[in-house]
Amino acid sequence: MHSFVRVCSGPVMDLIWLFCDGNPQLFYQFVNMPFAFLFYCLARQGHLSVINRYVYLTLGGFIFAIVTMGPYSLLLFFSAVLLLLLIYCLHPTRIHQWTMGLQMCWQTFWHLYIQYQLYWLQETPDSRLLLAISALMLMTQRVSSLSLDLQEGTVTSPFQNSSQDLSVLIPFLSYSLNFPALLGGPLCSFNTFVWSVRQMSVTPPLGSYLRRLTSKILQVLVLVWIKYPLKELLKSFTFRVNSPCVCQNKIWIWILSLLLKMNYYAHWKVSECVNNAAGIGFHGFSHSGKKSWDGLSDGSPWVTEALSRPSAFARQWNRTTAVWLRRMVFKRSNRSPLFMTFLFSAWWHGLHPGQILGFIIWAVTVQGDYKIHHFLHPMLTSKWRKWLYVCLNWAFTQLTISCVVVCVELQSLESVKLLWSSYIAVLPLLSVLIIIIL
């Protein structure tokens, strides 16, 4: 058990750790929630001024990073200080290139160090370092999003009017280190973050806030519970290399990918809960007059899993990250924007061999989906043809995404052997043929 869990040991903590299935990020986000709720209550009742709210969020992130990551929290503090220096020294029109370049170099250095430990030294990296690098990846999203906002003029530079008051940098520091977003998304823009912090005293009644928060926590509990029957189902199937029963191995890979995806869904949903508990994510009122707390979300797992096209799945999966990739790479690439976006995603994730292969498979699958949909759509003239197309495409989407998830999660090229021995690797090759033929 992690050192932090041992320090905070007790019946409640042990129960939460057991429920989180030993997942430290999920555990820390559950522990984070009471502090986020306390922050919202204090801000709502007027006990915290706007500047004190920023200080609370920043100080909370500072303490949370040190407690969970130890000395490796310096990775995040370096990035936060670097951002402030660049904002202070550079003109807004030049800040994005420098911020993105330096931040990705800093992140890549630590990713390559992890690979050096894994593949060269054959050592298991420190769990605190892995946690810090995961947080550093999220930091990259925030600082690059902010730097592009500054360059495009949607965020005003704090020194635009020749002001030398360094206190104007506090919201920027708070945005980069705020504790609700430290270990999980969803990615929130700087303007949304500032608006949320300033408007906490005029957000909806506490009753609607608590009902919505309770509903999302229950969704997290369901997602974590689903993992247990999936594990038992996985144990009931035996994976046999070069087995004549092709379907059994494919089902085993599919169940494994579902189990891995549930980890993601649970983490994204609990991170959404932490942000909502801190009062971040209120989206105003819908047309029917209902309060909406879905302004900050990585999407619904139920909607994502029901999608019948790989391209739609790619847009819905980890939605705020998909929007970030589209903004950072896809819209700014002149050649092959689709493949450049997926290759950049592999770079951002760590450049492990399995990750590179997984994102190449995903790019090929999405490109093939565009081709085949454009070719078959005019032929879907009857209802039964449309239903048949949707069902077959859903199965194809599930199996190809299974290839991607297994490759990305296993990271090494051992995942290739696993996929090839189950014959499920034929499906990405089918996408390659579709691109060539059509």
- Which residues form the catalytic set? 318, 349
CA distance 366 to 137: 24
Contact partners, residue 5, CB within 8 Å, separation at least 6: 13, 14, 17, 27
Q: What is each CA distance from 436 to 10, 245, 334, 367, 428, in whole angstroms?
A: 60, 30, 22, 11, 13
Beta bridge partners of 285: 291
Evaluate whether 282 touches 196 at the Cβ level (below 8 Å): yes
Evaluate whether 125 touches 364 at the Cβ level (below 8 Å): no
3 C-beta neighbours (distance < 10 Å), count: 12
Name the CA radius of gyration of the chain, rounded: 23
CA distance 211 to 423: 47
Contact partners, residue 418, CB within 8 Å, separation at least 6: 239, 253, 406, 410
Indicate the length of the chain as a whole number.
438
95 C-beta neighbours (distance < 10 Å), count: 21
Nearest to 307 by CA among 373, 355, 238: 373
CA atoms within 13 A on the CB side of 194: 13
Contact partners, residue 173, CB within 8 Å, separation at least 6: 54, 58, 80, 84
User: Tokens 């990615």 correspond to what residue?
Assistant: 187
